Amino acid sequence: MGIPVDALVQQNKDLLAALETTLGYRFTDLRLLQKAVVHPSYAFEQAQAGNDNQVLEFIGDAVLDLVIGHLLCRRYPNMREGELTRFRSSLVNEGHLAEMARFLDLGRFLCLGKGEDASCGRNKSSILACAFEAVIGAIFEDSGYTTVADIVQRLFVEAIEQKKQDLLLSDAKSRLQEVLQDRHNEAPVYRLDGEDGPSHRKQFSVSVLFRDEVLGSGTAGSKKEAEQRAAAAALLPWEKKEQR
């Protein structure tokens, strides 16, 4: 038989204490944190099937969806449902959760099977994202919603601001069309104003018009991005009104 969870806690108490410090949270039941960093490959090798992080990962996935969704609704009460859904997805997808795990240096705390460890499992996005969800699930199980919501907000606050800017730019054309369709039942028109620079580094200038009035302009290295920037500029007056 392999090493049970209680024995792992004793064996890894210094590492677990370091992870608690990184998280800014002390566990009442340290076994939860230990299980959160046990990958199924390690549990299999130790003949401890079920004593891994998969259930906590499942819980953490649901907790993150709820906490991030609730947080976004409070911070951006005028944002539409579709925008909120895309915003939340950008924060809880595998790639971003793996980034969060790397920020916490979560890889060094993982218990991995020999094969996974040898194949750089400590830096695999899929493993890191799952472990991050499991840690969030462990905190929820240990202390409940209020505590985990405070920790998630602290960990995600910078990312929320950055992702908001990325989302607003990437989705500006569709949002502008929604606004104009809702208010006037008409769509905007995009006009290419000019192209500058050599062929390998062209800059495109685009304006967006509605009923022959220029609403905004943008310049970028592709027509598509220039249109997005023009749409984002056109949306600024509406967004400022909504924030008041």
Q: What is the pLDDT of residues 202-221, one digit of tens each?
A: 999 999 999 999 999 999 99
- 209 near 188, Cβ under 8 Å? yes
Q: Which of 84, 107, 100 is nearest to 155 (CA)?
A: 100
Q: Which of 88, 123, 133, 130 is nearest to 102 (CA)?
A: 123
Percent of the chain with pLDDT over 70: 94
Q: pTM for the whole thing?
A: 0.74
Output the CA–CA distances (angstroms, integers) from residue 116 to 12, 38, 45, in the order listed: 19, 12, 11
Ordered domains of the chain (ranges, CATH): 5-164 (1.10.1520.10), 172-243 (3.30.160.20)
Percent of the chain with pLDDT over 90: 66
Q: What is the mean pLDDT of the chain?
A: 90
Distance CA 33, CA 27 (A): 7
Q: Is the pLDDT of residue 33 over 50?
A: yes
Residue scoring higher pLDDT (124 or 173): 124
pLDDT value at position 168? 65
Residue 57 known to bind ligand: yes
Residue 94 known to bind ligand: no
Catalytic (active site) residue 61:
yes
Distance CA 175, CA 87 (A): 13
Residue scoring higher pLDDT (236 or 127): 127
Q: Which residues pair with 208 in a beta bridge?
A: 190, 216
pLDDT value at position 164? 75
Catalytic (active site) residue 212:
no
Q: Is the pLDDT of residue 242 over 70?
A: no
Lowest mean pLDDT among 1-5, 139-143, 208-212: 1-5
Q: Is the pLDDT of residue 6 over 80?
A: yes
Return the biggest CA–CA distance within the chain.
77
Distance CA 44, CA 113 (A): 8
Q: Is the pLDDT of residue 2 over 80?
A: no
Lowest mean pLDDT among 140-144, 170-174, 181-185: 170-174
User: Which residue among 52, 61, 116, 142 is the active-site one?
Assistant: 61
Distance CA 208, CA 187 (A): 10
pLDDT value at position 244? 46
Output the CA–CA distances (angstroms, integers) from residue 208 to 19, 218, 239, in the order listed: 50, 9, 17
User: Which residue among 83, 133, 141, 227 is the active-site one?
Assistant: 133
